[in-house]
């Protein structure tokens, strides 16, 4: 299955919440500018402008510059967040221990190191398991809060900076936990959308399975009438009984799955009737159906999927594009009758506005249904003001689905 949503960059692929997201280019550039600027500021002030710097001051500068590396790499390698955060925190603690053993440096500084530690601690709280995130967060807090005291003594200025860095650490932990909670909510919403769609498919299973099992039972009953006196009558009775029991079992299962007050699914009728039923009495929607669509060989599950795509897409138009002047629904075969194209478009996308996934997770449900049929779903900007949902569903083999030709009467 392929679900594609276009944004302002025209194309962006939808991924599951458990998949590692590629680094956001703007945030990466901002972090490089901030960390590079702070390190350059330290280099100019402490090494170049003030002349030869003490060994401790040079050591702090080197540690601050070195910590920028894991802080930036955490976006490129999110699966190694634990190792990068641990390396940065251990390096900072080791530098503070060395600073405590030697004579404290008079100039109070350490901004690049503090910013790098904030990024690493925030990433640990965001991505890592709870226990590991808690351990790294505590160690990071110790590294940030005690660094001014251990390196520069217990003066009033050092204590003030220690309190300030402790507050920054607390804010970093809070932001990391907020992002963690947002990811958990997003993943739960994705799973809920999938589960709802699968329950809906299970409810529709009765109509599809009952259609085929009923055909088997009817043919079995006909065979029983023909072979009423034959030796096979007992076997035919058993087949008929098994088919009837299967129908009852499916009906009971679907009854348990159906929520109270849930409306029965639209019965699988012809493709044209299904599209018209999904559009309803909305006169603002222009429906374009290809000639001969009613005679097209389509499976019942494809018909119900077309109903869902059209209904969900029109619902999203009413919610998110109420100012649309033109709404079109087009259904037609394509690729030499191997695909069925279902296209729902509107012109309600204002210039400069990026429309995100309508309804939150409506496309996820449609994608689940279309994936079961080996189809594709594409949703995104189309033209200057347009938004389009395009579903392509495979059709059964035309030669297998076509009715046998009528024999000519030569008499």
* CATH number of the domain that residue 320 is part of: 3.30.565.10
* pLDDT given at position 401: 41
Say if residue 362 is in the same domain as residue 297: yes
Say if residue 146 is in the same domain as residue 171: yes
- Among candidate residues 396, 309, 389, the one with its CA nearest the CA of residue 348: 389
Quote the CA–CA distance of 225 and 219 in Å, as a whole number: 10
φ/ψ (deg, to 5) at 35: -65, -40
Q: Are 308 and 363 in contact (CB under 8 A)?
A: no
Say if residue 63 is in the same domain as residue 159: yes
Q: Is the pLDDT of residue 216 over 50?
A: yes
Q: Are 308 and 369 in contact (CB under 8 A)?
A: yes
Q: How many CB atoms lie within 10 A of CB 328?
A: 15
Say if residue 211 is in the same domain as residue 336: no
- Domain membership flag for residue 262: no
Say if residue 116 is in the same domain as residue 145: yes
Q: What is the dihedral of CA 99, 104, 107, 110, to 10 degrees?
A: 20
**Strand ranges inside 77-163, DSSP E:** none
- Among candidate residues 366, 314, 407, the one with its CA nearest the CA of residue 1: 366
Given pLDDT bands bounded at 50, 70 and 90, which one contains residue 410? very low
Say if residue 335 is in the same domain as residue 216: no
Given pLDDT bands bounded at 50, 70 and 90, which one contains residue 124? very high
- Among candidate residues 257, 270, 348, 359, the one with its CA nearest the CA of residue 307: 270
- Among candidate residues 143, 35, 34, the one with its CA nearest the CA of residue 86: 143
Quote the CA–CA distance of 325 and 321 in Å, as a whole number: 9
Question: Which residue is listed with tokens 């641990």?
Answer: 86
- Domain membership flag for residue 94: yes
339 φψ region: left (φ > 0), alpha (ψ -120 to 50), beta (else): beta
Say if residue 209 is in the same domain as residue 278: no
Question: Which residue is listed with tokens 């002047």?
Answer: 325
Q: Is the pLDDT of residue 22 over 70?
A: no
Given pLDDT bands bounded at 50, 70 and 90, which one contains residue 203? low
Of 167, 183, 199, the one marking the end of a domain is 183
Say if residue 24 is in the same domain as residue 40: yes
Q: Are 395 and 296 in contact (CB under 8 A)?
A: yes
- Domain membership flag for residue 346: yes
Say if residue 338 is in the same domain as residue 311: yes
Quote the CA–CA distance of 176 and 188 in Å, as a whole number: 18
Of 257, 290, 314, the one marking the end of a domain is 257
Q: Which two tokens stand for residue 3?
A: 């679900």
- Domain membership flag for residue 310: yes
Bridge partners (DSSP) of residue 380 are 388
Quote the CA–CA distance of 349 and 237 in Å, as a whole number: 62
- Domain membership flag for residue 411: no
Given pLDDT bands bounded at 50, 70 and 90, which one contains residue 319? confident
Quote the CA–CA distance of 118 and 31 in Å, as a whole number: 12
Given pLDDT bands bounded at 50, 70 and 90, which one contains residue 48? low
Quote the CA–CA distance of 394 and 374 in Å, as a whole number: 7
* pLDDT given at position 172: 93
Q: CB within 8 A of 386, min separation 6: which ones?
A: 345, 346, 347, 349
Q: Are 206 and 249 in contact (CB under 8 A)?
A: no
* CA distances in angstroms from 409 to 144, 193, 304, 405, listed in the order given: 95, 56, 39, 12
DSSP conformation letters of 350-389: -TTPPP-STTTTHHHHHHHHHHHTT-EEEEEEETTTEEEE
Q: Which two tokens stand for residue 389?
A: 């949902």
Max mean pLDDT among 87-96, 201-210, 402-411 falls in 87-96
Structural domain range at position 34: 16-183
Q: Are 69 and 88 in contact (CB under 8 A)?
A: no
* pLDDT given at position 54: 61
- Domain membership flag for residue 104: yes
- Percent of the chain whose pLDDT exceeds 90: 19
Say if residue 279 is in the same domain as residue 396: yes
- Domain membership flag for residue 125: yes
CA-based angle 241:246:248, to the nearest 5?
95
182 or 228: which carries more pLDDT confidence? 182
Say if residue 311 is in the same domain as residue 202: no
Question: Which residue is listed with tokens 């993943």?
Answer: 187
Say if residue 320 is in the same domain as residue 217: no
Burial class (CB in 10 A: 0-12, 13-18, 19+), 248: exposed
Q: Are 148 and 110 in contact (CB under 8 A)?
A: yes
Split into its structural domains, the chain has a count of 3
Answer whether 0.85 is exceeded by the pTM: no
pLDDT digits (tens, 9 = 90+) for 130-149: 999 999 999 999 999 988 88
DSSP 107: S
Of 132, 157, 183, the one marking the end of a domain is 183
- Domain membership flag for residue 172: yes
């Amino acid at each position: 299955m392929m679900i594609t949503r276009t944004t302002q960059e025209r194309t962006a692929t939808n991924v599951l919440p458990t998949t590692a997201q590629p680094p956001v280019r703007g945030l990466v550039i901002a972090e490089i500018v901030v960390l590079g600027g702070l390190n350059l500021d330290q280099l100019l002030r402490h090494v170049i402008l003030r002349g030869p710097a003490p060994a401790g001051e040079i050591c702090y500068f080197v540690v601050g510059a070195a910590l920028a590396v894991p802080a930036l790499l955490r976006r490129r390698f999110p699966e190694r967040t634990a190792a990068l955060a641990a390396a940065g925190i251990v390096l900072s603690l080791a530098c503070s221990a060395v600073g405590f053993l030697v004579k404290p440096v008079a100039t109070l500084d350490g901004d690049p190191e503090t910013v790098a530690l904030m990024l690493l601690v925030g990433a640990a709280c965001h991505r890592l398991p709870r226990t590991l995130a808690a351990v790294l967060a505590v160690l990071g807090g110790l590294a940030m809060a005690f660094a001014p005291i251990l390196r520069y003594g217990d003066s009033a200025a050092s204590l003030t900076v220690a309190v300030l860095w402790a507050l920054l650490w607390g804010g970093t932990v809070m932001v990391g936990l907020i992002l963690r909670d947002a990811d958990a909510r997003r993943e739960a919403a994705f799973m809920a959308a999938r589960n709802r769609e699968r329950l809906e498919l299970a409810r529709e299973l009765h109509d599809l399975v009952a259609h085929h099992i009923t055909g088997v039972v009817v043919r079995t009953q006909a065979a029983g009438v023909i072979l009423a006196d034959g030796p096979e009558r007992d076997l035919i009775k058993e087949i008929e009984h098994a088919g009837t029991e299967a129908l009852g079992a499916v009906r009971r299962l679907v009854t348990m799955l159906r929520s109270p007050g849930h409306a029965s699914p639209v019965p699988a009728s012809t493709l044209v009737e299904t599209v018209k039923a999904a559009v309803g009495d909305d006169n603002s929607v222009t429906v374009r159906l290809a000639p001969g669509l009613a005679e097209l060989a389509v499976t019942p599950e494809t018909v119900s999927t077309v109903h869902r795509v059209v209904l969900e897409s029109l619902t999203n138009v009413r919610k998110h594009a109420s100012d649309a002047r033109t709404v079109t629904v087009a259904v037609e075969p394509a690729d030499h009758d191997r695909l069925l194209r279902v296209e729902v478009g509107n012109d309600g996308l204002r210039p400069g506005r990026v429309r995100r996934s309508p309804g939150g997770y409506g496309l996820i449900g449609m994608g689940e249904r279309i994936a079961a049929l080996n189809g594709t779903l594409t949703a995104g900007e189309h033209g200057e003001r347009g938004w389009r949902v395009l579903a392509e569903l495979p059709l059964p083999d035309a030669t297998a689905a076509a009715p046998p030709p009528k024999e000519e009467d030569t008499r």
